[in-house]
Amino acid sequence: MGHTIDVYIISGFLGSGKTTVLKKLVEASRQQGKQVGVILNELGDTNVEQHLFALEKTVELLNGCICCSMQDDLKETLHQFIEHQVDVLFIEGTGVANPNEIVEAIVSPEMIDHYSIQSIISLVDASQYLDYQSVFSSSKEIRTLLKEQITCASLIILNKVDLVADRKMKKVVASIEKQATGVPILNSTFGNVEVEELLKARVQTLDVNSSKCTCGSGDTCSHHHHATLKAVKFTEVPVFSKKEFEKWLKQLPKEVLRGKGIVKFDETDALYSFQYASGHLQIEEISSSQAPIIILIGDRLELTSLKDKYEETFLHKLS
């Protein structure tokens, strides 16, 4: 057998902190002198994070989820990376991807001799986990999806622990341990985890048909359990004040689980990348030629209502 590419799959629900961990993994591998490949998957037709991986061989798979509707695209991309001769490949699925479906593509007969899965890293937002598990505040689709992402993991990163009180944390950990017996759980804030832990080879053998995952290839299941999750894109983004922007985000309905994009504020000429999840906004100045864009992802979104509220808020800027 010839050159084998190490693979790390990064999964986790919307806003759990996947990209932050992916950046750490990519930077560490680059420092080790490895040729790095990255696959970024988005539900919508735009990825606003490609500027973070400008030095790597990066492929964006847009307008669908590689765990179901884009399986053929994923396999084609895997063939490309074999030809590129990268040493390590990082795959970040959408926030609604089932990692086991990605695993199936990698351990398929035509790929298994070229790729070696090292770890399936699943991030969990500790501050939102119990709400997502509740029948009163989430849908069956979300609860099923979270279970899949947790039970398929070889490493669980419990992120945003700084936002959770000790008593609540005990409930979160107990619930996760019940679903993923024996899987290491690392607590983190802002995805701050030791790189050595992230890069550890934690998957020795993978037999998908006998996998502990809840949605293995031998199971009967719906590949479209996340059909109620939608991505909304705003491309006519005016220049506004940071205060106006923050106010609009806070008034979004609870069905909006995640926001990200690139914006420009009238206080400065710079462009800013933003991430919005769990009611918290992170903004970072970037160097990019990409036009401003706002992407919202959520469960059972009322698209017309969101559009109307957006235009109502920024009408004076859009006209």
Look at residue 229 in the predicted model and tell me its pLDDT: 57
Look at residue 58 in the predicted model and tell me its pLDDT: 86
Domain that holds residue 274: 229-318
Both 147 and 258 in a single domain? no
- Side-chain-side CA neighbours of 267 within 13 Å: the count stands at 7
Q: Is 187 left (phi over 0), alpha (psi -120 to 50) or beta?
A: beta
Both 277 and 235 in a single domain? yes
Select from 183, 210, 237 the last residue of a domain.
210
Both 143 and 56 in a single domain? yes
Residue 163 CA to residue 155 CA, distance in Å, equals 21
Instruction: Give the total residue count for the chain.
Output: 319
Residue 218 CB burial class (10 angstroms; 0-12, 13-18, ≥19): exposed
Asked whether 299 and 141 are in contact (CB, 8 A), the reply is: yes
Residue 191 CA to residue 163 CA, distance in Å, equals 13
Both 203 and 236 in a single domain? no
Look at residue 257 in the predicted model and tell me its pLDDT: 80
CA distances from 144 to 95, 104, 214, 224 (A): 13, 19, 9, 11
Secondary structure of the chain in HEC code, one letter for each residue: CCCCEEEEEEEECCCCCHHHHHHHHHHHHHHCCCCEEEEEECCCCCCCCHHHHCCCEEEEECCCCCCCCCHHHHHHHHHHHHHHCCCEEEEECCCCCCHHHHHHHHCCCCCCCCEEEEEEEEEEECCCHHHHHCCCCCCHHHHHHHHHHHHCCCEEEEECHHHCCHHHHHHHHHHHHHHCCCCCEEECCCCCCCHHHHHCCCCCCCCHHHCCCCCCCCCCCCCCCCCCEEEEEECCCCCECHHHHHHHHHCCCCCEEEEEEEEEECCCCCEEEEEEECCEEEEEEECCCCCCEEEEEEECCCHHHHHHHHHHHHHHHHC
- Point out the residues of the chain with pLDDT beneath 70: 1-2, 43-48, 50, 55, 62-70, 109, 204-231, 299, 315-319
Domain assignment present for residue 216? The answer is: no
Among residues 62, 63, 57, 123, which one has the least CA distance to residue 90? 57
Among residues 92, 103, 75, 117, which one has the least CA distance to residue 11? 92
Both 203 and 246 in a single domain? no
Give the phi and the psi of residue 186 in degrees, each rounded to 5: -115, 125
Both 198 and 256 in a single domain? no
Look at residue 188 in the predicted model and tell me its pLDDT: 96
Select from 148, 180, 210 the last residue of a domain.
210
Angle between helices 99-106 and 140-151 (to 10 degrees): 50
- What is the number of structural domains in the chain? 2
Look at residue 63 in the predicted model and tell me its pLDDT: 64
Both 151 and 72 in a single domain? yes
Look at residue 68 in the predicted model and tell me its pLDDT: 59
Q: What is the CATH number of the domain that holds 297?
A: 3.30.1220.10
Both 80 and 194 in a single domain? yes
Both 248 and 134 in a single domain? no
Both 19 and 99 in a single domain? yes
277-301: per-residue pLDDT in tens?
878 899 999 887 788 988 887 767 8
Residue 295 CA to residue 309 CA, distance in Å, equals 15
Token pair of 159 as six digits: 């992120």
Look at residue 225 in the predicted model and tell me its pLDDT: 45
Both 93 and 199 in a single domain? yes
Look at residue 126 in the predicted model and tell me its pLDDT: 95
